[in-house]
C-alpha cells in the first residue's frame, strides 16, 4: 500500500481485527443531504473526522447497514485493540463505585449507554440523558 503522503484525497484508518491492525483506505468525499452530513452530525460543521471515521468503519464492516446503532464494545475493540469488560449495573456488587474509580485511575476507557425508550425514537429523559446513546465516563464521585 502506498504511504499516506501519496494518497491525495484519501484517508487511512487502522482497525483491530483478529489480533492485528488492518488498514482501511477511504476517499474524503462525504454524503450530504440538505447541507447536513448524511449519517454522523458533528457539533462543529467544520469538523468532519467523525464522518470520515464512520465511513471507514462502514468499509471495514462491509456496509453502512452493519453499523446501524452499532455495538459500543465492538467499536472500542476495533479502535483500540483493547479488552472490553461489561458490567451490569443491576447485578454488580456494592463495590461499583470503588471499581469505577480504580479503572478511571488506571487510565482505562469507560463508557455507558442508555436503554431504548418505549418507542424506536431517541428521547430525552428527565435526567437530561438521551435514550439509545453512548456516553464517555471520565470518573466517579459519590453524591450524598
Chain segment 73-108, per-residue pLDDT in tens:
888 889 999 888 877 776 666 677 788 888 888 888
What percent of the chain clears pLDDT 90, i.e. is strictly above it? 12
pLDDT(22) > 90:
yes
The answer to whether 15 and 31 have CB atoms below 8 angstroms apart is: no
Going 126 to 117 to 138 to 67, the CA torsion angle's sign is negative
- Cα gap 59→52, rounded to integer Å: 11
- Cα gap 55→92, rounded to integer Å: 36
Number of Cβ within a 10 Å radius of residue 57: 21
Amino acid at each position: 500500500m502506498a504511504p499516506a503522503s501519496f494518497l491525495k484525497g484519501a484517508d487511512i484508518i487502522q482497525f483491530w481485527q483478529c489480533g492485528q491492525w488492518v488498514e482501511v483506505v477511504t476517499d474524503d468525499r462525504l454524503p450530504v443531504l440538505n447541507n447536513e452530513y448524511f449519517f454522523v452530525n458533528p457539533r462543529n460543521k467544520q469538523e468532519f473526522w467523525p464522518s470520515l471515521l464512520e465511513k471507514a468503519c462502514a468499509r471495514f464492516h462491509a456496509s453502512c447497514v452493519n453499523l446501524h446503532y452499532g455495538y459500543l464494545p465492538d467499536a472500542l475493540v476495533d479502535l483500540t485493540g483493547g479488552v472490553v469488560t461489561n458490567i451490569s449495573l443491576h447485578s454488580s456488587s456494592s463495590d461499583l463505585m470503588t471499581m469505577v474509580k480504580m479503572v478511571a485511575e488506571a487510565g482505562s476507557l469507560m463508557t455507558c449507554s442508555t436503554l431504548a425508550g418505549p418507542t424506536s425514537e431517541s428521547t430525552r429523559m428527565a435526567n437530561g440523558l438521551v435514550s439509545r446513546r453512548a456516553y464517555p465516563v471520565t470518573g466517579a464521585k459519590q453524591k450524598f
